[in-house]
């Protein structure tokens, strides 16, 4: 399960932070936008994580790929929500993709938000929300 989108960390002196908080900070520093994700930058994140002692078992890619993917997918749905304000509306495939993401519990909050925002403009979005409610996914 990916970590929460919004992170609230208590007093650093009294509580130990989970590893994903530090990796998320590294990702935001080195790749502030999804379009800046490259193989080279991922290698840099991996080296920095190892330097910080976050990659002790050598399985950085296995542990963090899903979390990074969820971050990228969430950013995509934010962009699609912004594009919804354009006269042409959201891309036709976006509703189906958002529904699949919710069903697969991947970037759920952003996908749901996209569907709710598009429901008044795209009838398929309202239908997708209804299906997700019936399935107990939301």
Domain boundaries of the chain, sorted by first residue: 19-135
Question: 31-46: per-residue pLDDT in tens?
Answer: 887 777 788 888 888 8
pLDDT above 80 for 135: yes
pLDDT at residue 11, rounded to an integer: 47
pLDDT above 90 for 129: yes
Where do the DSSP E strands lie in the chain?
A: none
pLDDT above 70 for 107: yes
pLDDT above 60 for 2: no
Pick 39 or 87 by higher pLDDT. Answer: 39
pLDDT above 90 for 62: no
Pick 2 or 84 by higher pLDDT. Answer: 84
């Amino acid at each position: 399960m990916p970590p929460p989108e919004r992170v609230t960390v208590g007093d650093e002196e009294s509580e130990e932070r989970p590893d994903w908080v530090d990796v998320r900070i590294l990702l935001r520093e080195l790749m502030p936008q999804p379009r800046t994700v490259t193989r080279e930058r991922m290698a840099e994140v991996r080296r920095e994580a190892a330097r910080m002692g976050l990659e002790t078992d050598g399985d950085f890619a296995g542990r963090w790929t899903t979390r990074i993917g969820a971050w990228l997918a969430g950013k995509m749905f934010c962009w699609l929500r912004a594009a919804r304000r354009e006269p042409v509306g959201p891309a036709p495939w976006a509703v189906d993709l958002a529904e699949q993401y919710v069903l697969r519990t991947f970037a759920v909050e952003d996908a749901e938000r996209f569907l709710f925002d598009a429901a008044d403009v795209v009838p398929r979005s309202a239908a997708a929300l209804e299906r997700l409610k019936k399935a107990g996914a939301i």
